[in-house]
Every structure is written in structure tokens, then in C-alpha cells.
Amino acid sequence: MLTSFIETDASAASITTDGLLRQFGSLTALDRVTVTLPRGGVVGLLGPNGSGKSTLIRILLGLIPSTSGQATVLGHPTTKPARYAGDVGALIEAPSFVPGLSARKNLLSLARLRGLPATRVAEVIRIVGLEGRENESVRRFSLGMKQRLGIAAALLPDPALLILDEPTNGLDPAGIVEIRQLLKTLAAEGRTVVVSSHLLAEIQAACDYLVIIRFGELMFSGPMGELLDKAGARIEVAPEHPADVDRLRVALAAAGWSLEDDSLVVHGSAADAGALNRAAHEAGITLSRLTPIDESLEDVFLKMTAAPTRDPVAASQGARKKAATNA
Ligand SMILES: Nc1ncnc2c1ncn2[C@@H]1O[C@H](COP(=O)(O)OP(=O)(O)OP(=O)(O)O)[C@@H](O)[C@H]1O
């Protein structure tokens, strides 16, 4: 199992999980996930459909228990959700509003239900950019406007932590950009915004920190920049004589090159080709090939989350086996 190597101080964390496991019968929806997420900024929770994002969010919100392992939200255990519920806003399904009522009236009734001041309604309408449309009936709202209204409802208690499950689901590209911008604004105001998606490209530009899960397993957890490093330039080298592979790895490592595990893929750009060639030559090895590898961040994400099978039970078991052999 992969565990994140985050040096974030746990007391400064928005969310921590420790060996979080959730099973539904024989299906492992979350497989011993251990993460420490920072406070502040946009945290992207990414993974293909059925990878356990909603399950994790439901555990964090105290809606379902974990099978084993622990989690904390704003320093409180998820077994005591009442302790942090007032500081957390969530949008976990397509928000449901009374269609015949205006956005403002819907929010007013929600505020009243939660014992929040009515003055907050105008504030959240402004924050999500629905000013000027707040008196229109929700029936006439586009999907994007409904999502904004859902986020406005989640913002009513002025939460320190906002958790949004797939807020861009079903939105057109313009709507996705709008929500992305809104997430950034909300984080810039000092909140932690956790947002799940199955598409990296949708939220990549908004995220400071990423958690990637696949079939319940943690694939990556760290600052966005770390994933960018993973997507960094690489060159594949090959010696003229296959028998020189091991010697070439040792020589390149000794010359200070960083190599990917068990391969002749070196972290470097096309501009490093000459220096790599020299390092090999100095070790008495002739290179037959130097091939720059171009990989986008999306490629890295897709590789990390590539599905070995469509059967989720078999997949979660297969993923576990693979992780065990990699450990
Ligand atoms: N209540 C439940 N009972 C049985 N299986 C469940 C239940 N909830 C989730 N699962 C299963 O757990 C796995 C993870 O589901 P989850 O909804 O957490 O994934 P997800 O990453 O949020 O997916 P999506 O992007 O499609 O929303 C899936 O295989 C799902 O079918």
C-alpha cells in the first residue's frame, strides 16, 4: 500500500486519515488510505469513477463509519461529527432546492433552518456571483447556476472547510472554468476547499494540493508541484550492448543522474542528451539511443489511475496485489 509522505504538521492539517478502510460486503471501497491534508488552499481529490472519492467524503462528513482506521476533520475525530459540523460546508450530491422559489428564498429558508442570520444570505449570493439573479426562480437556473447556489448553501455557516463532491459534473467547459475560478476565490479568502473530480484537467488549474486514489488505494498525495515534477522531462537511454544495462545504470547514477526504478529512464530534458552521452562514454559504454519522453500532467494522472479491469471487486483486489508487490 502506498502511504503519502507529507511532512505537514498534523495540528495544522485540515484533514487526516490513518489507515482508513471501508468495505461494502466483499468490495473494498477505500483501502487503508493515509493522508494529511494542509489547511488553506484548494485540495483536489481525484480518481476515476468508483475509486472511493464519495466514500471518503462521506466518512469525513461523519455520514458513514469506516470499517477500520481513523480520520480527523479540523482536529476532531470523524466519529464525533457534531464537533466540527458547524465549521464544514458540503455539497455532496446535485443540490436540491424548491424549484418554484427564488435563489434568495431558498437560501433564506436554509439559513433559518440552521439558525443562521438572514444577513448571511446576501453575502453568500455575492461570494458565488449570483448577484442580480437571486430573485429568479431556481426552476430557470442553468446547471452551473444551480451548482453555484449549492455552493452558496454550503457557505452559509461561513465554514473553514468546504467539501464539494464533483461540483463540475455535467457542466459545459465555460461552467467548469467558472466553478474553478470560484474555488480559487473561496480558498484565497482563507478556506480549505476539498473538491473531488474524476478528471484532472477539470480542476488542475485550481488545485494547490492533490490526492489521487484508484480503486480505493492512494496513488499520490502531495503538492501539485510534486506531480508536475513527476510529469517532468525524461530521456530513455539504451546501450549498444544489452549486457551493459546494469553498468550504465550504475555509471549514470554515479554521475549524478536520477533514474526511474529498474529502467534506463533518466530525469532530464533533450538538452541533457550530450551530457548523458558523455557520462556513458566515460564509463566506456556506447549509447545506441537517446529518446526524450514527452508526458503531460494528464498522461501521468491517467497512468496512475489506469484501470486494469472493469470489475470493481476484482480491480480492488488486483490493485492491492500490485501495490503489495511494489512495496
Ligand atoms: N452504499 C454502498 N453499497 C455498496 N457499494 C458501494 C456503496 N457506496 C459505494 N459503493 C461502491 O464503492 C466503490 C467506490 O464508490 P464511490 O462512490 O466512493 O466512488 P467515487 O470515486 O466517488 O465514484 P464516482 O466518481 O463515480 O462518484 C464503488 O465500487 C461503489 O460501487
Reply yes or no on whether the pLDDT at 323 is more than 60. no
Reply yes or no on whether the pLDDT at 324 is more than 50. no
Please report the sign of the dihedral spanned by the C-alpha atoms of residue 306, residue 309, residue 315, residue 320. negative
Q: Is 311 in the pocket of ligand 1 (CB under 6 A)?
A: no
Looking at the CA of residue 213, tell me the nearest atom of ligand 1.
Answer: 21
215-244 burial, b if ≥16 CB within 10 A, otherwise e?
A: bbbbbbbbbbeebeebbeebbebebeeeeb
Report the pLDDT value the prediction gives residue 316, as an integer from 0 to 100.
43
Reply yes or no on whether the pLDDT at 124 is more than 90. yes
Among residues 182, 109, 94, which one has the least CA distance to residue 146?
94
Per DSSP bridges, beta strands 265-267 and 234-239 are antiparallel
Selected residue with higher pLDDT from 93 and 312: 93
Q: Is 144 in the pocket of ligand 1 (CB under 6 A)?
A: no
* Position 309 confidence tier, pLDDT thresholds 50, 70, 90: very low
* Position 14 confidence tier, pLDDT thresholds 50, 70, 90: very high
Selected residue with higher pLDDT from 301 and 223: 223
Q: Is 316 in the pocket of ligand 1 (CB under 6 A)?
A: no
Taking residues 23-38, report their average pLDDT.
Answer: 96
8 A C-beta contact, residue 34 and residue 49 = no
Ordered alpha helix ranges (H), the chain: 53-60, 103-113, 119-127, 143-155, 173-188, 200-203, 224-230, 245-254, 273-282, 297-305, 312-326
Mind listing the pLDDT tens digit for each residue in 144-165?
Answer: 889 889 999 999 999 999 999 9
Q: Is 93 in the pocket of ligand 1 (CB under 6 A)?
A: no
Q: What is the DSSP letter of 7?
A: -
Among residues 165, 162, 200, 199, which one has the least CA distance to residue 184?
162
Reply yes or no on whether the pLDDT at 299 is more than 80. no
Report the pLDDT value the prediction gives residue 238, as an integer from 0 to 100.
95
* Position 201 confidence tier, pLDDT thresholds 50, 70, 90: confident
* Position 312 confidence tier, pLDDT thresholds 50, 70, 90: very low
Å from CA of 277 to ligand 1 middle: 49
State which of 53, 166, 212 you would mutate to test the pocket of ligand 1, scoring each by most atoms of that ligand within 8 A of its C-beta. 53
Report the pLDDT value the prediction gives residue 308, as an integer from 0 to 100.
55
All three cell numbers of 115, joined, read 439558525
Q: How far apart are the first and last CA of the chain?
A: 7
Q: Is 49 in the pocket of ligand 1 (CB under 6 A)?
A: yes
Taking residues 226-239, report their average pLDDT.
Answer: 80
Place of cell 464537533: 83
Burial class (CB in 10 A: 0-12, 13-18, 19+), 262: exposed
Go through the domains of the chain in sequence order and give each one's CATH number.
10-228 (3.40.50.300), 233-293 (3.30.70)
Report the pLDDT value the prediction gives residue 90, as an integer from 0 to 100.
93
8 A C-beta contact, residue 161 and residue 148 = no
In whole angstroms, give the CA distance from residue 152 to residue 89.
9
* Position 10 confidence tier, pLDDT thresholds 50, 70, 90: low
Å from CA of 145 to ligand 1 middle: 26
Of 152-156, 215-219, 280-284, 293-297, which gets the smallest average pLDDT? 293-297
User: Residue 236, SS3?
Assistant: strand
Reply yes or no on whether the pLDDT at 326 is more than 60. no
Mind listing the pLDDT tens digit for each residue in 72-113?
Answer: 999 999 999 999 999 999 998 777 899 999 999 999 999 999
8 A C-beta contact, residue 234 and residue 292 = yes
